Amino acid sequence: MSEVTYVVTLQCRDTTGIVRALSNAVFAIDGNILENDQFTDPVTGQFCMRTRFTCERDVAEVSERLEGDLAAFTPTLTIRPETQRRRALVMVSQFDHCLADLLYRAEQGDLAMDIVAVVSNHGVCRELVERHAVPFVQVEVTPSTKSAAEDVVRELVERHGVDVVVLARYMQIISPQLCGELSGRIVNIHHSFLPGFKGARAYHQAYERGVKLIGATAHFVTADLDEGPIIEQDVARVTHARRPTEFIALGRDVERTVLARAVGLIAEDRVMLVGQRTVIFSQ
Amino acid sequence: MSEVTYVVTLQCRDTTGIVRALSNAVFAIDGNILENDQFTDPVTGQFCMRTRFTCERDVAEVSERLEGDLAAFTPTLTIRPETQRRRALVMVSQFDHCLADLLYRAEQGDLAMDIVAVVSNHGVCRELVERHAVPFVQVEVTPSTKSAAEDVVRELVERHGVDVVVLARYMQIISPQLCGELSGRIVNIHHSFLPGFKGARAYHQAYERGVKLIGATAHFVTADLDEGPIIEQDVARVTHARRPTEFIALGRDVERTVLARAVGLIAEDRVMLVGQRTVIFSQ
Amino acid sequence: MSEVTYVVTLQCRDTTGIVRALSNAVFAIDGNILENDQFTDPVTGQFCMRTRFTCERDVAEVSERLEGDLAAFTPTLTIRPETQRRRALVMVSQFDHCLADLLYRAEQGDLAMDIVAVVSNHGVCRELVERHAVPFVQVEVTPSTKSAAEDVVRELVERHGVDVVVLARYMQIISPQLCGELSGRIVNIHHSFLPGFKGARAYHQAYERGVKLIGATAHFVTADLDEGPIIEQDVARVTHARRPTEFIALGRDVERTVLARAVGLIAEDRVMLVGQRTVIFSQ
Amino acid sequence: MSEVTYVVTLQCRDTTGIVRALSNAVFAIDGNILENDQFTDPVTGQFCMRTRFTCERDVAEVSERLEGDLAAFTPTLTIRPETQRRRALVMVSQFDHCLADLLYRAEQGDLAMDIVAVVSNHGVCRELVERHAVPFVQVEVTPSTKSAAEDVVRELVERHGVDVVVLARYMQIISPQLCGELSGRIVNIHHSFLPGFKGARAYHQAYERGVKLIGATAHFVTADLDEGPIIEQDVARVTHARRPTEFIALGRDVERTVLARAVGLIAEDRVMLVGQRTVIFSQ
């Protein structure tokens, strides 16, 4: 069998011997470690690790060895040949800037992830999506159909083995039930300001207060937090001379950049969730 | 008389003919405009202007001409020979990073402003301040002495013709009365986060939520706004691997940089206050 | 006649009275100045001005008044109703990231400029361009056909009244003749590094030297300068862990952002060329 | 014996089993790994590792175990109790902005490094240095005394066990001999521009070409490279309206920030030198 690159993530309570156990296990299957990141979170006491190694054994043998040798730590463990790409379901409403950027990056090869389908409660993005040969699923979302719409999402997640649901400016609230089922697997992009402004006209409020920075935050969606664990953030400078429409246009640029970075990190298994925080093993 | 550089600021309700009236007035005294910035704020309808010009007339003649020719617009007008520097009173408690930076920049010549005195409710910064040959005034601030302490500030502002009071990590609340008296003339530096965290342990809260950016905001102090009109903002990147003490250290760097920029803009009459917003005529 | 917004730019040798003459002229046609920026370049002694005003007279009357009243300064003057958008001809070879971004922004309404045609020495971008309903003109560029290819460009510039030719990763050298004819009207995007690296494998050289920043520069193309007057620049951070292909991918992001900003500034007549420098009246 | 935190760095040719050998060695002395970073440089084939762990054994025992267990890899190995701080010798000429910042950060506790002495070919920084209770050594540098001056540096490096020589705006060239002796241990700060400008009036050249970014690069000094392996870089934005003196003032800010970051990374053994590149294990 030829050489395979594996990406492994591990999370467990911190104790001594974990690195040793993993490195011994990789050595036992003649693996060569390419990258290795680890972090013990002081807030939760969780140990997080990401290892990338090459090896000539198949995934079954690698999994058996690692799961066996690390069993004493009762870890949450993921083992993936790098060529077996992560799969995303993207949800969008009417604004297509984040979606268009993700599709473009996936096509360019900059985003190592398969977008298996796009779900929308509107039809405006259909042409864009289908042009990239990605299935477009339109669902009606009203009080009476919301539950059925979420069943469509559940079915797509199940059928395609979706790893992450990306809310690329999806303007509907995900039900607490679905949030719970997909805990740690839904990512949202949100504008953000200093000081914070809430609601639909946040950019206008920010403008009226004369902020000098506008930002965006990509975060996991949780049922109980207004804004879940943060994955990535960035800002752009604005001046008093910019009109609200320009705030929004600049905000779009920050949003698409921040979401693309967050999704790119997830595509490479670089994001680990510990309590209300993320550990990001960035390059 | 030799050539003098004047800096003029003007604020009034927007109407036609203001630029014309000013440029005619400057022409009438044989002035040559070096810089000219203007902005009409759509929120308040206020017209703001900053003009820098050279002229061989003295300040009395220049003032008379400009005040006369612009009287119809009932403007708020400031006229200053550039060599007559703005004067700051700095207030500080125990953390000296912003103060040290302002003193260093003033000494270097990077900050074109005179620091006429430093007021503190602690003694720890005395040596630093006196080393720069700036008077250090220690005042006790307790519930019973706060009023007297503010009288000391009033007296210093009066005596030295202070243009701006800079709260360089001054941890006491300024009374609404003093805020009112010095409206638009008190500047504060405040840490800021996305999302916002309040209170003394804001950096620890930000850490526990895993923010990726920490920021600082320099703003005017007003009696009725939690955070007054924003002058300058910036952020620094942090990761999960940084400890709360490192968040604070990085926060110090952003705070001192942002406050220095805000004070530098004020030193050059580049900041105009319109309602809850600032208009910044930056270079 | 209803209200029209005009954008005027002016460049001439610095002297007294220019602002006054312009503001008097605008006043005489009942204009109301919205924005006004000016700068006297100390290197060349050139005075630059950009004014945006509303007025109920037509463009012929406005032009006659301004040209007449300012004639004494023998200025280079442009007068444009804001709704009469600038026109760009985009040239591209095989890499489409800058082109795709410009087309997307124009379609979104973020870029207030008409892309009248795309010229390429390759066919790969045809589908992308035609999907946006923009004419795609493929020209062969070999030593023997280069001259004919540039005639096609000349003809398109002439026919469509093109204001600016944007080299959006066009990998052919423009002849000194064409550079001269379109002086101050050709914009290029170039990767840039600290220290500088030249040639086709610049990203690989930067990688081998372990740079921590990769940048891009948008500049005017001149016949005699390796890199002409700079319009906009930016950088992105990289680490030792990034591979050359990732340097190139991050470089693409910086390139498209920097070119889009430069073209956006040109679309609003905010870029003035003085000697080897640009004066940018940004917001 | 109570718990000690150790910082270990290792560099050797890449092969399998290194991580395993190290983690087994740490396990054998009952150590608990806190941080672990590793990287295999594709250009040189060098394997780099930094490990931080706690352990109750003394440094002799820890060193014996690690050196013994890793001997097969013939690594370059450093082992240091974290409380045994790195020692810097700072060299400066007349500009004190970088020096003042390093002294301030060391005093604040933000820079975990001992500045054992400051050497200068001028006397202007004496007061600043002695105020921080650091020895100031003035040396004359002329063609005939340069060799003796470098002997003073050699003697200070030897006597104080200096880990790194920091050229904080030291305007003399270090001889190839001394560069060779202190290879990988001399750090310099250099302004940098896009495009590059050389020589004493680099800021003026950058100004005349209208650059939009000015930068600084902290790098190792080598005998044979104009600018050695890069440790850290950053930039600041400038506009056409900034005068050359302001370019220089903004440049000072970037220089001091970039040098402080580079020295801070070295203080924590986060910088490894591989060929012409650095591997930076940042947080």
Token output for C55: 């007025």
CATH topology of domain B86-280: Rossmann fold (3.40.50)
Q: Check if the beta carbon of residue C220 is closer than 8 Å to that of residue C278.
A: yes
The SS3 of residue C190 is: strand
Give the mean model confidence (pLDDT) for residues C168-195.
91
Give how far C264 is from chain A: nearest CA, Å: 12
Instruction: Return mean pLDDT, chain C.
Output: 94
* Cα dihedral D126/D132/D137/D139 (nearest 10): -40
Give the mean model confidence (pLDDT) for residues A95-114.
96
pLDDT, averaged in runs of 10, over chain B (283 residues): 94 92 94 91 93 96 97 97 98 97 94 97 97 97 95 98 98 94 95 72 88 94 81 95 92 96 98 95 92
What is the pLDDT at residue B16? 86
Strand partners, C81: C6
**What angle, 0 to 180 degrees and rounded to 10, lies between the N-to-C axes of helices B18-28 and C18-28?**
140
**pLDDT > 90? residue A149:** yes
**What angle, 0 to 180 degrees and rounded to 10, lies between the N-to-C axes of helices C97-108 and C244-267?**
40
Give how far A194 is from chain D: nearest CA, Å: 22
Residues from B contacting D (CB-CB < 8 Å) are 35, 97, 100, 104, 108, 110, 131, 239, 241-242, 246, 249, 252-253, 257, 283
- Which pLDDT tens digit goes with each residue over A195-213? 677 666 888 888 988 999 9
Separation of alpha carbons A242 and B128, rounded Å? 41
Instruction: Return mean pLDDT, chain A.
Output: 94
CATH topology of domain C4-81: Alpha-Beta Plaits (3.30.70)
Which residues of chain D are within 8 Å of residue C277 when distances are taken between CB atoms?
A: 208-210, 240
**What residue type is assigned to position D243 of the chain?**
R
Nearest Cβ partner of A33 from D19, D31, D35?
D19
Nearest Cβ partner of C241 from A131, A249, A283?
A283
Separation of alpha carbons D218 and C44, rounded Å? 34
Residues from D contacting C (CB-CB < 8 Å) are 39, 41-43, 192-196, 207-213, 215, 217, 226-227, 229-235, 239-241, 243, 276-280, 282
Host H or E run for residue D40: strand D32-40
Q: Nearest to residue B189, comparing CAs of B107, B267, B93? A: B93
**pLDDT > 80? residue C196:** no
The SS3 of residue D177 is: helix
Strand partners, B88: B115, B164
What is the pLDDT at residue D209? 87
What is the pLDDT at residue A194? 64
Q: Check if the beta carbon of residue D65 is closer than 8 Å to that of residue D25.
A: yes
Please, what is the end-to-end C-alpha distance for chain B in angstroms? 30
* Neighbouring subunits of B (3+ Cβ pairs under 8 A): A, C, D
**CB contacts < 8 Å between A and C, how many?**
25
Query: b/e map of C80-97 (b: 16 or more CB within 10 Å)?
Result: beeeebbbbbbbbbebbb
Nearest Cβ partner of B242 from D131, D252, D283?
D283
**pLDDT > 80? residue A7:** yes
Give the mean model confidence (pLDDT) for residues C128-134.
96
Lowest mean pLDDT among A172-181, C29-38, C200-209, C213-222: C200-209
Nearest Cβ partner of D32 from A16, A24, A30?
A16
Marked catalytic residue, from A41, A96, A224, A226: A226
Which residues of chain C are within 8 Å of residue A242 when distances are taken between CB atoms?
A: 283
What is the pLDDT at residue D16? 87
Residue A76: φ, ψ to 5°: -85, 120
Give the mean model confidence (pLDDT) for residues A55-66.
97
Residues 6+ apart with CB under 8 A from C82: C4, C5, C6, C7, C52
Q: Which residues of B are catalytic?
A: 226
Tokens 């370059």, residue? Answer: D76
Nearest Cβ partner of B283 from D110, D239, D253?
D239
Contact C104 A100 (CB under 8 A): yes
Mutate to test the interface with D, among A3, A15, A18, A20 (most CBs of D within 10 A): A20
Q: Check if the beta carbon of residue A87 is closer than 8 Å to that of residue A114.
A: yes
Q: With bands split at pLDDT 50, 70 and 90, how would you rate the model's confidence at C199?
A: low
Q: Chain C residue closest to D43 (CA)?
A: C208
**pLDDT > 80? residue A55:** yes
Predicted structure pTM score = 0.95
* Neighbouring subunits of C (3+ Cβ pairs under 8 A): A, B, D
Percent of the residues in chain C that have a pLDDT greater than 70, as a whole number: 97
The SS3 of residue C61 is: helix
Separation of alpha carbons A138 and A116, rounded Å? 14
Token output for C44: 């060349």
List chain B domain ranges.
4-81, 86-280
Residues from B contacting C (CB-CB < 8 Å) are 16-17, 19-20, 23-24, 26-27, 30-40
Contact A23 D20 (CB under 8 A): yes
In chain D, which stretches have pLDDT less than 50?
A: none
Q: Nearest to residue D261, comparing CAs of D220, D223, D231, D230? A: D231
